[in-house]
Chain A
Amino acid sequence: MPFLNAMPGAITQGIIWGIMAIGVYLTFKILDVADLSVDGSFATGGAVLVVMVTAGQNLYLAMFCAFLAGCAAGLATGILHTKFGIPAILAGILTQLSLYSINLRIQSDMANLPLSYMNFHYPITLRNITQSLIICAAVAICLIVLLYWFFGTELGHALRVTGSNHSMARANGINTDTNKIIGIVLSNGIVALSGGMLSQYQGFCDVNMGRGAIVIGLAAVIIGDVLLGKIFQNFALKLLATVIGGIIYYIVITLVLNLGMKANDLKLFSAIVVAIFLAIPYWRAQLKQRFHKPQKAVSEAKEVADNA
């Protein structure tokens, strides 16, 4: 059963991409901004980690620097968006494009760089998948707890209001520009951190490793939301649903690869999966409208009238 044997690996990868998806969740769901810079900052995280570790730096310092490098990328997007007045999607594309060159510079013009296994035992590695799985899960849980705390603070609320209602935010003294920047910075930091984790896990970094990251991130966010959104109301659980979405996504990918799909077709497959899951809530609403029972409409109208 090659598929079952591949499960722990699929879950580990799913968690790593799920952590990336938490970064996407912050911009896409909370700030209501589609930030495409993650395709670049994911690879940036990997590049920084591999280059620093290869140069003999401490692994944990390298992880932290990968996070900071992602934050810097987010800062660029945030400033392009708020201070230069560029629409968020375009600002993200500009950062993503420029990061391709920057990532190549970090990797000394090499398209990919290996992590030497010989002189270091990495906590997250293909050579010990069980250990990797446990550590990745622990990182994900720590991150969820930290973010749960952060979004319960005054600053976290300011970020949520910024994403929910601009006019209300400003009328209540919240600087929406600053808060958008903070959100995008934090998001890209998390994305780069997961990029660092992936390059550690697979043993190399590649300038193209982030290509389509936004789509995978969205897939995880949306799969988690569609499948678990109804049960998981709490914010921490919503983040957990995102990670679970990432895991489900990777299990499905592993399954279709095992069924004989060519690896080159994966990106097409990912795009279709995301398109379908994005459409599900819309289709659901449409169906409801078309086939709704008059009885229910009356009781709903009554409820609205009662509330008024």
Chain B
Amino acid sequence: MLEVKGLYKTFNPGSVNEKKALNGIDLTLNDGDFVTVIGGNGAGKSTMLNMIAGVYPVDAGSITIDGIDVTKLPEHKRAKYLGRVFQDPMMGTAADMWLEENLAVANRRGKFRGFKWAISAKERKEFRELLKELDLGLENRMTTKVGLLSGGQRQAVTLLMAVMNHPKLLLLDEHTAALDPKTAANVLALSDKFIEEEHLTALMVTHNMRDAIAHGNRLIMMNEGRIILDVKGEEKQKLTVEELLGEFAKLSGSEFANDRALLAN
């Protein structure tokens, strides 16, 4: 479904702020893979997701989604293959537009936008049903400005928008990091539910090692812009946080440097 080959990215090349964010990433996701991504601060997790989404141009390498080479496609053209949820709950929705308007915008991802009415009556009904699945009572607040919702509600809505129309790949970039523990658990459970029901292929960056082990069928660990560990299937199910930390120290030659990851355990 996703094929990343020899991906390199350096920010601010040639300056004192030069940062080699990605150092040759090779990654292949099969149809239906749900991969969790962990790594220390600055390991390149978010950069990798942003490169796949087309936020920055690549220095070298290629990105193929479902057989389509998207390496040179701009962000908005790639969007039709992707569903994205960001770390910042404010980033995934338009605050001064209604809930139903936000959903309608997402429902047209990858489609031509012309002079047709932006929301049809049929869509309104569908949106109501979809919002019921979130179990947050939002189905009765479809004409509320999204800016009036809480961070957790907005993130749940963004997730719903991301999985609309069955994206080829779902990119979750630490999407529960800014939420309180209870809300984070809810959003994570929803992510699991949508990915399973819709048989989505997903990449989920997380700072929480327990979450990384508990969710998905495959786990990759990144350090200094490289993938240093890739475990799948049963082997992954049997992993423990201690083992992961040990692996990390062994493979990277340093301690796992992510305060939030350590605090979360």
> Considering residues A150, A154, A171, which has the most beta carbons from chain B within 10 angstroms of its beta carbon?
A171
Q: Does B183 contact A (CB under 8 A)?
A: yes
Q: Complex: how many Å from CA A158 to CA B109?
A: 11
User: Residue of A at shortest CB range from B74?
Assistant: A175
Asked, given contacts A173-B80, A175-B76, whether A164 binds B150 with beta carbons under 8 Å apart, the answer is no
Contact with A along B55-80 (1 / 0, CB 8 A): 00000000000000000001111011
CB neighbours (8 Å) of A175 from chain B are 74, 76
Q: Point out the residue from B79, B90, B113 that lies within 8 Å of A154, measured CB to CB.
A: B113
Q: Does A167 contact B (CB under 8 A)?
A: yes
Q: Point out the residue from A150, A152, A165, A176 that lies within 8 Å of B94, measured CB to CB.
A: A165
- B152 near A308: Cβ-Cβ < 8 Å: yes
User: Residue of B at shortest CB range from A149?
Assistant: B115
Asked, given contacts A170-B79, A173-B80, A308-B150, whether A160 binds B113 with beta carbons under 8 Å apart, the answer is no
- B115 near A304: Cβ-Cβ < 8 Å: no
Asked, given contacts A170-B76, A170-B79, A304-B150, whether A157 binds B118 with beta carbons under 8 Å apart, the answer is yes
CB neighbours (8 Å) of A174 from chain B are 76, 79, 105, 113
Q: Does B104 contact A (CB under 8 A)?
A: yes
Q: Does A168 contact B (CB under 8 A)?
A: yes
CB neighbours (8 Å) of B113 from chain A are 154-155, 157-158, 174
Q: Point out the residue from B77, B82, B105 that lies within 8 Å of A161, measured CB to CB.
A: B105
> Considering residues A157, A160, A165, A173, which has the most beta carbons from chain B within 10 angstroms of its beta carbon?
A173
- A161 near B94: Cβ-Cβ < 8 Å: yes
Say how far A225's CB is from chain B's closest CB, in angstroms.
Answer: 13
Main secondary structure on A side of the interface with B: helix
Q: Complex: how many Å from CA A160 to CA B91?
A: 15
Q: Complex: how many Å from CA A164 to CA B183?
A: 25
CB neighbours (8 Å) of B117 from chain A are 152-154
Stretch at the interface among B95-103, B187-195, B226-234, B252-260: B95-103
User: Residue of B at shortest CB range from A160?
Assistant: B97
Say how far B134's CB is from chain A's closest CB, in angstroms.
Answer: 14
Say how far B100's CB is from chain A's closest CB, in angstroms.
Answer: 11
Asked, given contacts A168-B94, A173-B110, whether A153 binds B150 with beta carbons under 8 Å apart, the answer is no
User: Residue of A at shortest CB range from B94?
Assistant: A164
CB neighbours (8 Å) of A123 from chain B are none
CB neighbours (8 Å) of A212 from chain B are none
CB neighbours (8 Å) of A167 from chain B are 86, 91-92
CB neighbours (8 Å) of B97 from chain A are 157, 160-161, 164
User: Residue of B at shortest CB range from A151?
Assistant: B118
Q: Complex: how many Å from CA A161 to CA B93?
A: 9
- B183 near A308: Cβ-Cβ < 8 Å: yes
Q: Does A203 contact B (CB under 8 A)?
A: no
Contact with B along A297-308 (1 / 0, CB 8 A): 000000010011
> Considering residues A154, A169, A304, which has the most beta carbons from chain B within 10 angstroms of its beta carbon?
A154
CB neighbours (8 Å) of A165 from chain B are 90-91, 93-95
Q: Complex: how many Å from CA A97 to CA B180?
A: 52
Say how far B23's CB is from chain A's closest CB, in angstroms.
Answer: 26
CB neighbours (8 Å) of B153 from chain A are 307-308
Contact with A along B15-57 (1 / 0, CB 8 A): 0000000000000000000000000000000000000010000
Q: Complex: how many Å from CA A224 to CA B153?
A: 32
> Considering residues A153, A155, A164, A175, which has the most beta carbons from chain B within 10 angstroms of its beta carbon?
A164
Asked, given contacts A158-B105, A167-B91, whether A176 binds B183 with beta carbons under 8 Å apart, the answer is no
Contact with A along B110-132 (1 / 0, CB 8 A): 11011111100000000000000
CB neighbours (8 Å) of A264 from chain B are none
CB neighbours (8 Å) of B183 from chain A are 308
- B86 near A152: Cβ-Cβ < 8 Å: no
Q: Does A156 contact B (CB under 8 A)?
A: yes
- B79 near A164: Cβ-Cβ < 8 Å: no
Q: Does A172 contact B (CB under 8 A)?
A: yes
Known: A158-B105, A173-B108, A308-B153. 6 other contacts (CB 8 A): A154-B113, A168-B93, A170-B76, A171-B82, A171-B84, A173-B109
Chain A interfacial positions (CB closer than 8 Å to B): 150, 152-158, 160-161, 164-165, 167-176, 304, 307-308
